[in-house]
Structure 1
Amino acid sequence: MREDEQLTTREIGGMTLADYSRAFWKRKWLVLLVFSLVVFFAAVFSIHQPKIYEAVASVEIDLQAERIFSNMSDVYELGDLSYWDSKSYFETQYKILQSRMVAEMVVERLHLDRDLVFLGLSDIEDETELAERLAKADAIELLRSSLLIDPVQDSRLVRIRYQGTDPKLITTIVNTVAEAYIEQNLNRKLSSTKKAISWLTEQMQDLKTKLEDSERALYAFKKENDILSTSFDQQINFTGTRLEELSRELSRAESEALRLNSDYESIKRVVPENDGEHVASSAVLKNPLIKELKVLYASQQDKYEELLARYKEKHPEVLLAKTQLERTRASLEREIAAIVQAAKSELEAAESTVQALRGQLEAVKNQARGLTVKEVEYNRLRREKESNQAVFEQVLLRLKEIDLSGMLKANNIRMLDDAKAPTIPIRPRVRLNILMGVVLGVLLAFGTALILEVSDKTLKSADDIQRYVKLPLLGIVPQVKVEPGSPEASIPNAAEMFAFLKPTSSMAECCRTVRTNINFMMPGKTLSRLLITSASPKEGKTTIVSNLAIAIASAGHRVIVLDTDMRRPRIHKAFNMTNEYGLSNLIMGTMKDEEAIRHTPIENLDVLTCGPIPPNPSELVGSEKFVEIVNRLSKTYDRIIFDSPPVIAVTDAMVLSNIVDGVILVVKCGKTLRDEAAHSKKLLLDVNANLLGVVINHLDLDNREYGHYYYYYYRRYGYYYGDRDAAAKTAT
């Protein structure tokens, strides 16, 4: 990351912890004052506040009242509710607790509308004003405004809170609110119960009439259809059974008739043959008499044929045998005819039985169809009667349950903990208020310090130079403090000569550091002409000029200081000289160089003061004559140091910057504004000045605000040289 990017990042990042610490320490007395005032006012405010007490009662709200009989429900019952329905129910109860209805019940019972302490009118002595205020006072709304309902999370408990200055009164109010709420809930349930009883009683009469009408209609139907002795279902079952029995008998009779008809047809086909044989029939063959006659007939036929073969037809034995054969044949035919007639009679009887059974079956079917038609009407009448009876019994049972529930007076809301008179006020909470005052005091105190620090736009550190001015830091020169009674205290303007007066001081060492840094700014090139300027007046540039000149001269270089500030010259005062003549005389040609240049007590250091102040300083320093003077001096001296006017005030510094090798910008710690330094930099760069860097002047090393890393670094030089001097004195 490049340097400019780093600087931008640090600038955006804001102040460091060290910056905060220095800002707070710098304004420690202001911080302490603000903190003390805030804590003091918090304590006074808390002590003088009226004592507020709070009474608390707890009420339990169930979805349903406790059931004494498990199978009995209330008139007003919620049943199984979903989460959102249950939440809505409890929210409704909270609103009822804060309702005007409950508040009005409490006001009426406790006569709060005439309680001057409750209404806050006890301090009014004027009866007329008191009467007017009483007429306008709304005790109900006043009660509601101070009543707090606090549901206990994840439970069915509700805390009723009331705050006031009278512990006994607020306790009575809270308990009365709870009682009024419980009472109105019970009254609402009892009112619903009474309405339900009244409505159910009216319905009972109508239901009783409907039940009696349905019972009479069912009785008339059963009487009309002769089903009083047995039930209708029994008759239907009997008819069904009879149908099954007749169907089975008819099937058997039809089978028997078919069999007899088959036998009869077989018998009818029995006819005698020429040879006296007959067609076999099962009915005939099974008859024993027929069997005997057939055997006899066959025997006689054989005998007749035998005799006929032996004798002639007219032979008596043949004729006898023929007569016997004919008789036997006649007997056989008679028996067969009798069997045929018997089979026919039996067949006719069977067919008659079949016809009779068919008639009975049809009659039973007709009866069954009639019962089916009657069953529809019967079932309708029975259902109507049973429905009316069930509704009647249900309403009668519910009426008794509601009546019993009303007598029980079961309530789903009950008092869990009644309120007790509080002894400790909840407000003011003196310790908490003082603690908050401490916290607020800390915040305000440090906030004030921070605001002042943020609003401070001056340059105070090397970081500020890098962050806002973005120029190299050549060095830091501490504030010169001359101790009373010291040898330096008797010397006027000792600060401008301090590097000479106290060469082992930290201030002298800092000037030598600046000298070294200047030498390293442009290696290989000698910076013989140095212009020292500042953004604004009174930033200590003359002090830097004189002490830096002393530091350079002490290194063996011939140095001359030119006071080019022809508006407010100070170099002559720094070296305890007069300003009767000087640079302006050289430019005007009224004096020679050796006449105008003055020598100082410091080896290798001369001074060319401003001289009489001219009316046109800018024209003088920008003249060719002035350039000639500088060129002549450059041949005689190794270093020429110009004490220039401020950059922003006049243009002299910008004019002089073009004839010097480098420009040094002096900023006064804690005084030079950031914008002024940055603007000065811009003005010098606009004229192509070789801006070497910045020297921070007037740094107070005893001030912790500025005593960060260079605080220890520069103070140690003083300790080191101080110790060395002390050791030298001891050796002497």
Structure 2
Amino acid sequence: MELRDYLRILRRRWVWIGCWALACVAVASAVTLLATKQYQSTARLFVTTAGSGSDPSSSDAYQGGLFSQQRVTSYAELVGSRALAAQVSRELHLDIDATEMADNVSATALPNSVVLDISYTDPDPKSAQAVAQAYADGMTDLIRELETQPGQSTPPIKATVVDNADLPTSPASPNPVRNIGLGLMLGLLLGVATAVLRDLFDTTVKSLVDLSAATDAPLLAAISYDASTRATPLVTALKPHEARVEAFRVLRTNLQFVDVDKADKVFVVTSAVPGEGKTTTSVNLGITLSQAGVRVLLVEGDLRRPKASAALGLDNSIGVTTVLLGRVSAEEAVQVHEPSGLSVLASGAIPPNPAELLQSNAMHDLLRDLRASYDMVIIDAPPLLPVTDAALLGAASDGALLVVRHGKTTKDQLAQAASRLAQVDADLVGVVLNMTPVKSRGTGYGYGYGYGYGYGPDSRPVT
């Protein structure tokens, strides 16, 4: 991945990253508030040898200083001994286990010096001070005992308390600024990592690159997402210049450029799987064609779960199945959607054998008659992958439009759907990318996408 790919992911997933950051900051804040305050008191020892008290320029003083520095490191290790902890506990009459006390004490030997800092941490600041001071005093006694040679009364090296243990006024932990800062950094890292992994493993169609990876069919239009679509699915309920209306006009124009030498055209509108918006696309495409003066017929070819007639507020008791059974003629079964003037042939009663009806000679004869009566016939067909109905209709038509839902349809599903059409020699004339996100307020992403990238069959922009 290149830098621009990561920047694209950050722009797309910034909400996800922000949620991770807020969650980690919240956890860090909760831990900080709930954690027991710990106070730390520190005493300082100064270690000297007998030679270090003479002339500083002498060799003995220099050697004594080096010896003291080496010994300080060893003394820092002795501070954590259980024996010294038990001694301090006895002196202060504390009911604390030696191991627990040793875990709360620390010693630091300052680099290139003979200074030893001893710190003790405790929830009570006074206890921290008392124990730290006891440790410092006990350490001086321990050093004197360890360094005194047998038969001598004065050790060659000694430790002196130069700074008594202080009384802490503010807790050493928890540190709110540090904890929240670490939580923020961790949240951002987790957010970015999750966003990158999510993008790497996301196989849904979101761009022209994704479309081209699954099919060679051109993008005819992109329809932007509108939360009000479920309540008002028809473009007749929208203002003339809204983004969704403009996107369907782009689709209408591009579709008219498909196979320009043929006067009468029959197109199947389908999708890979349910829930991608193929019925809404079929209905609104038919409405925009009708508004442009095209003699268009919308055929409800989904004989399993018909929804087009319900979206238009029409009765579907008489329709395709009624005509195929010979009970009425196609002219008698056609209804008109008054607000748009769109002619509609509903599904009719749902049959037990939809696939057999759709590949019957009666269906071929019906499509032939409809082709002769209208400039364009739009068939709302079932999804391709669950059933074979759409492929059968596609083979009997001039081509198929495949509706792909942005962020839901996977590239594998799109490729399989295109393969289903190719297996029956149906022509996939183009793809409609549905429910694309709005790019910015006031400018519909679907309109900009469809307008700028609405390729006609010759792969040039059609406006």
Q: Provide TM-score, normalisation by structure 1.
A: 0.52
The residue correspondences of 1:337-416 to structure 2 (distance < 5 A) are 411-416=157-162
Counterpart-to-counterpart distance in 2, 1:418 and 1:587: 103
Q: What's the counterpart of residue 157 of structure 1? A: 115
1:653 aligns to 2:416 (yes or no) = no
Amino acid at match of 1:92: S
Q: What's the counterpart of residue 142 of structure 1? A: 100
Q: What's the counterpart of residue 426 of structure 1? A: 172
Query: Kindly tell me: are residues 102 and 574 of structure 1, through their superposed partners in 2, closer, same or farther at Cα, counting changes over 3 Å?
Result: closer
| Equivalent residue for 1:495, pick from 228, 233, 255 | 233
Counterpart-to-counterpart distance in 1, 2:340 and 2:56: 120
Report if aligned partners of 2:17, 2:195 keep a CA contact under 8 Å in 1. yes
Counterpart-to-counterpart distance in 2, 1:41 and 1:500: 47
Report if aligned partners of 1:499, 1:505 keep a CA contact under 8 Å in 2. no
Query: Kindly tell me: are residues 69 and 697 of structure 1, through their superposed partners in 2, closer, same or farther at Cα, counting changes over 3 Å?
Result: closer
Which deviations, in whole Å up to 9, do the C-alpha atoms of 1:692-718 show, x marking residues without a partner? 2221334575x9699775466789xxx
Query: Kindly tell me: are residues 706 and 187 of structure 1, through their superposed partners in 2, closer, same or farther at Cα, counting changes over 3 Å?
Result: farther
Which deviations, in whole Å up to 9, do the C-alpha atoms of 1:310-364 show, x marking residues without a partner? xxxxxxxxxxxxxxxxxxxxxxxxxxxxxxxxxxxxxxxxxxxxxxxxxxxxxxx
Q: What's the counterpart of residue 177 of structure 1? A: 135
1:93 aligns to 2:75 (yes or no) = yes
Counterpart-to-counterpart distance in 1, 2:275 and 2:87: 82
Report if aligned partners of 2:270, 2:380 keep a CA contact under 8 Å in 1. yes
The residue correspondences of 1:451-600 to structure 2 (distance < 5 A) are 459=205, 465-466=211-212, 471-478=217-224, 495-496=233-234, 498-499=235-236, 503-520=240-257, 528-600=265-337
Q: What's the counterpart of residue 348 of structure 2? A: 611
| Equivalent residue for 1:52, pick from 38, 52, 61 | 38
Counterpart-to-counterpart distance in 2, 1:545 and 1:64: 100
SS in 1 for 2:149: helix
Structure ID, larger Rg? 1
Q: What's the counterpart of residue 115 of structure 1? A: 94
Query: Kindly tell me: are residues 15 and 685 of structure 1, through their superposed partners in 2, closer, same or farther at Cα, counting changes over 3 Å?
Result: farther
More strand by share: 2
Amino acid at match of 1:159: D
1:444 CA displacement: 7.2
1:167 aligns to 2:167 (yes or no) = no
Counterpart-to-counterpart distance in 1, 2:48 and 2:32: 42
Which deviations, in whole Å up to 9, do the C-alpha atoms of 1:600-652 show, x marking residues without a partner? 54888533222232221101111223222222332332222111111122110
Which deviations, in whole Å up to 9, do the C-alpha atoms of 1:539-593 show, x marking residues without a partner? 3322221221232334443222222211122333344432233222332333334
- Provide the identity percentage: 29
1:148 CA displacement: 0.3
Amino acid at match of 1:516: T
The residue correspondences of 1:53-72 to structure 2 (distance < 5 A) are 53-62=39-48, 65-68=51-54
Amino acid at match of 1:56: T
The residue correspondences of 1:687-706 to structure 2 (distance < 5 A) are 687-699=424-436, 701=438
SS in 2 for 1:495: coil
Counterpart-to-counterpart distance in 2, 1:600 and 1:55: 85
Report if aligned partners of 1:572, 1:578 keep a CA contact under 8 Å in 2. yes
1:23 CA displacement: 3.9
Query: Kindly tell me: are residues 574 and 178 of structure 1, through their superposed partners in 2, closer, same or farther at Cα, counting changes over 3 Å?
Result: closer
Amino acid at match of 1:655: L
Which deviations, in whole Å up to 9, do the C-alpha atoms of 1:642-701 show, x marking residues without a partner? 111111221101112212222111134455455544432333334333212221334575
Report if aligned partners of 2:221, 2:250 keep a CA contact under 8 Å in 1. yes
Counterpart-to-counterpart distance in 2, 1:639 and 1:144: 88
Report if aligned partners of 1:65, 1:411 keep a CA contact under 8 Å in 2. no
1:162 CA displacement: 1.0
Amino acid at match of 2:233: A
Amino acid at match of 1:695: V
SS in 1 for 2:174: coil
Counterpart-to-counterpart distance in 2, 1:101 and 1:181: 11
Report if aligned partners of 2:39, 2:122 keep a CA contact under 8 Å in 1. yes
Query: Kindly tell me: are residues 616 and 172 of structure 1, through their superposed partners in 2, closer, same or farther at Cα, counting changes over 3 Å?
Result: closer
Q: What's the counterpart of residue 376 of structure 1? A: none
Report if aligned partners of 1:56, 1:171 keep a CA contact under 8 Å in 2. yes
Amino acid at match of 1:572: S
1:530 CA displacement: 0.9
Query: Kindly tell me: are residues 527 and 631 of structure 1, through their superposed partners in 2, closer, same or farther at Cα, counting changes over 3 Å?
Result: closer
Over aligned residue pairs, what C-alpha RMSD do you find? Answer: 4.5
Amino acid at match of 2:122: G
Report if aligned partners of 1:65, 1:413 keep a CA contact under 8 Å in 2. no
1:480 CA displacement: 6.5
SS in 2 for 1:421: coil
SS in 1 for 2:362: helix
Counterpart-to-counterpart distance in 2, 1:70 and 1:478: 84
Report if aligned partners of 1:519, 1:527 keep a CA contact under 8 Å in 2. no
Amino acid at match of 1:545: S
More helix by share: 1
Counterpart-to-counterpart distance in 2, 1:453 and 1:572: 39
Query: Kindly tell me: are residues 472 and 27 of structure 1, through their superposed partners in 2, closer, same or farther at Cα, counting changes over 3 Å?
Result: farther
Report if aligned partners of 1:500, 1:550 keep a CA contact under 8 Å in 2. no
Amino acid at match of 2:171: P
Q: Provide TM-score, normalisation by structure 2.
A: 0.78
Which deviations, in whole Å up to 9, do the C-alpha atoms of 1:471-530 show, x marking residues without a partner? 5321123456779xxxxxxxx99634x259855544332112012222445565668121
Query: Kindly tell me: are residues 680 and 706 of structure 1, through their superposed partners in 2, closer, same or farther at Cα, counting changes over 3 Å?
Result: farther
Counterpart-to-counterpart distance in 2, 1:494 and 1:693: 26
What is the number of equivalent residue pairs in this alignment?
A: 451
